[in-house]
Amino acid sequence: MNIEIEKSSGFCFGVSKVIQMAEEILDKGDKLYCLGEIVHNEEEVNRLAEKGMIFIEKEDLLKLKDETVLIRAHGEPPSTYEICEERNISIIDGTCPIVNALQKQIRNSYKNSDTQNDQIVIYGKTSHPEVKALNGQINNSAVIIRNSEDIKKINPEKNLTLFSQTTMDSEGFTEMENQIRGNAKEHPGVKVEVKNTICKHISHRQPGIVDFAQSYDILIFVAGRNSSNGKILFDICKKENDNSKFISEVDQLKEEWFDSVANVGIAGATSTPAWVLKLVKERIESFKII
């Protein structure tokens, strides 16, 4: 049986950077809190928790004083920085530089807009931490859309600037753009500005994963249950190869999946550690059917 791990799977540079920052502190034996899951991957979260990292939610900040808190790659809204300042909490800022630049772009767009006539629209998930952080830059005034139904929330009489959460899918973004532009035609004078802010580490993976998924008898996709990017990439795999399986942990592998299989592909999200992909490969190799 031939088993291959997709070359582009594993942490993107934004996630690698924040994990490295965390490990440098934990290796010194210093206490470190992390706001939310450092990465949407349970196995990596557990590994860092074993090294001493303490995971907290935003409301827990109100119970801390004089501590050190790590901000993950998704970033945080300004209110988090304000709470930390009030409570003398030191911040280790692991916001991905790409997310940081997007936050700045959204702030500038808002600053140069006229709230009576302009609106900012973000293609993303309302509950996603990156979207909350982006929306927080502009007093939570953005219209968040994810599908055609949500487009009804947009005021058709106002100009709009469309951004995207960095981990959304390109196809969905283009669909939203086309519908918005189509609606705007019915309102002459309304300006539509589109900024495709999907991270290149995500969009560039999509064509590669299509080829990869088509090339194997079975495709094992490994990602955390909360990973947006994992969900998107897995959906692509499933479309290309019906025999694609989603797992979050090595123990979810089932030996019977590999009966009469010659080629196995393993892929992961930008939040899936390379060591987990390797463990998956080793577990499949250990099955007696090989």
Nearest-CB residue to ligand SF4?
14
CB 125 within 8 A of CB 131: yes
d(CA 66, CA 207): 47
12 in contact with ligand SF4 (CB under 6 A): yes
Q: CA neighbours within 13 Å on the CB side: how many for 85?
A: 5
96 in contact with ligand SF4 (CB under 6 A): yes
Decide whether 38 or 284 has the Cβ nearer to ligand SF4: 38
Which is catalytic among the residues 44, 130, 171, 175?
130
198 in contact with ligand SF4 (CB under 6 A): no
Strands 33-35 and 54-56: parallel
Q: CA neighbours within 13 Å on the CB side: how many for 213?
A: 22
**Contact with ligand SF4 (CB under 6 A): which of 8, 13, 184, 215?**
13
Residues of this chain, 48-87, that bind ligand SF4 according to CB under 6 A: 73
- Taking the complex as a whole, the smallest distance from the CB of residue 155 to ligand SF4 amounts, in Å, to 29
Is residue 130 annotated as a catalytic residue, yes or no?
yes
Q: CA neighbours within 13 Å on the CB side: how many for 58?
A: 13
- Taking the complex as a whole, the smallest distance from the CB of residue 196 to ligand SF4 amounts, in Å, to 13
CB 269 within 8 A of CB 233: yes
- Taking the complex as a whole, the smallest distance from the CB of residue 198 to ligand SF4 amounts, in Å, to 9
Residues recorded for the chain: 290
Active centre residues (catalytic): 130
Contact positions toward ligand SF4, by CB under 6 A? 12-15, 73, 96, 98-99, 166-167, 199, 201-202, 270
